[in-house]
Amino acid sequence: MDYPKEWINYTREELLAILSKNLSKKRYQHILRVEEEALKLADYYHADCAEVSLAALLHDYAKERSDAEYLHYIDEHPQFAMLRPYGNNIWHGMIGALFAKKELGLNNPNVVRAIQLHTVGGKQMTQLDKIIFIADYIEPNRHFEGVDEARKLAYTNLNQAVSYALSHTLIYLIQRGYPIFPMTLDAYNHWVGRIGDE
Ligand code: GDP
Ligand code: FE
Ligand code: FE
């Protein structure tokens, strides 16, 4: 697949080479599965395959960076200070997308945004945002309880799938005593009980 030059100056093959060189095998294979799942959803919901592919390939681009690198970035960019307590779970999407922008010349705002929202969701989510969020949640190597229901919902009603994923992620996090990032809560409040609204 070729991406428009205005979005990024690499072909899909070139990006794959960069990712496989810089990420663990486990992460690289997860990314390929997310792309495959996301492209199925793109086909099913008639989304732009090039945007979906690019966002899927780059969604965990910076997941394996050190905490020190993220903390340094946060120190240099005070507008991100509120991310500081939440750790890599939140940093790798919200800030990782900006690393992809800077380091790879990624220049498609829809894709940057889908990467930023892929872990936490949002009150407003485009179809691309939803596809990446859900593909990451249901890729074939996910085995948690409820994943089959999420897979079924993904191909019946994308909004219901988002709602389902957000509630189950919150339950999971709260059971373990993890802090909830405010955007995750906002997304939950928006999507749960608003099924079919948009
Ligand atoms: P991955 O990068 O492919 O492993 O998947 P994600 O980016 O979707 O999620 C990374 C981790 O962040 C998962 O364990 C989620 O449960 C977790 N997560 C999602 N929302 C929040 C949140 O609000 N707070 C915290 N602490 N973790 C979250
Ligand atoms: Fe992720
Ligand atoms: Fe992922």
Q: 104: which 2 tokens?
A: 């790879």
Burial group, residue 108, by CB count within 10 angstroms (0-12, 13-18, 19+): buried
Residue in the block written with tokens 């993904």: 154
Reported as a single tens digit per residue, the pLDDT across 137-178 is 999 999 999 999 999 999 999 999 999 999 999 999 999 999
Residue 90 near residue 108 (C-beta atoms within 8 A): no
Reported as a single tens digit per residue, the pLDDT across 95-126 is 999 999 999 999 999 999 999 999 999 999 99
Residues 6+ apart with CB under 8 A from 62: 92, 95, 96, 99, 100
Q: How far is CA 194 from the centre of its chain?
A: 22
Classify 90 as helix, strand or coil: helix
Averaged confidence pLDDT in the chain: 96
The atom number, within ligand 1, closest to the CA of 137 reads 8
User: Which residue of 92, 173, 175 sits with most ligand 1 atoms within 8 Å of its CB, as the best mutation to test the pocket?
Assistant: 173
Closest listed residue to residue 135, CA positions, set 110, 117, 122? 117
Q: Any idea which ligand is nearest the CA of 121?
A: 1
